[in-house]
């Protein structure tokens, strides 16, 4: 029974955040909610889990359904928190594993100024969810 419970949680997701600014590429149509100015790109990148906490293998291409992206101003995330965005595990255009998301696409209610925290959860095709990744801070 213990192994069945442990298997419901994935190994940790590794996340990083990259800030891109300047002209061209990486832009977004989301605005900062005040002046209509587009928010600069903030790209969240991750490595998908490849095993469960009990070390049994997980194939992210066939076993994962989506990634949930959670954002708030505290860095504390609870199981009852709804995701701010979801990304399918396989990119429908390229049929490759999704490993990044531009946080500026979330748009309102996110705006320029406040410091935000983002955390990611992997969701298996069975509906099982990973623990939250360690939060990463960012701002626009």
Q: Name the more confident of 26 and 60.
A: 60
How far apart, in whole angstroms, are the C-alpha atoms of residue 27 and residue 40? 6
User: Percentage of the chain surpassing pLDDT 70?
Assistant: 74
pTM above 0.85, yes or no: no
Judge whether residue 32 has pLDDT over 80: no
Does the domain at 2-138 match CATH 1.10.3210.10? Answer given as no
Report CA torsion sign: 129, 130, 134, 140.
negative
Q: What confidence tens digit (pLDDT) does each residue in 39-87 have?
A: 999 999 999 999 887 888 999 999 999 999 999 999 999 999 999 999 9
Task: Give residue 20's pLDDT band: very low, low, confident or very high (50, 70, 90).
Answer: very low
99-120 average pLDDT score = 92
């Amino acid at each position: 029974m213990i192994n069945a419970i442990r298997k419901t949680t994935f190994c940790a997701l590794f996340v990083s955040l990259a800030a891109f600014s300047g002209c061209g590429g990486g832009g977004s149509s989301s605005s900062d909610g005040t002046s209509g100015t587009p928010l600069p790109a903030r790209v969240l990148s991750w490595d998908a889990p490849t095993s469960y906490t009990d070390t049994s293998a997980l194939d992210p291409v066939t076993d994962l359904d989506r990634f949930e992206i959670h954002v708030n101003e505290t860095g504390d995330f609870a199981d009852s928190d709804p995701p701010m965005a979801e990304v399918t595990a396989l990119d429908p255009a390229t049929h490759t594993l999704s490993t990044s998301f531009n946080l500026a696409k979330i748009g309102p209610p996110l705006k320029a100024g406040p410091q935000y925290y983002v955390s990611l959860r992997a969701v298996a095709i069975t509906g099982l969810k990973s623990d939250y990744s360690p939060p990463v801070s960012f701002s626009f």
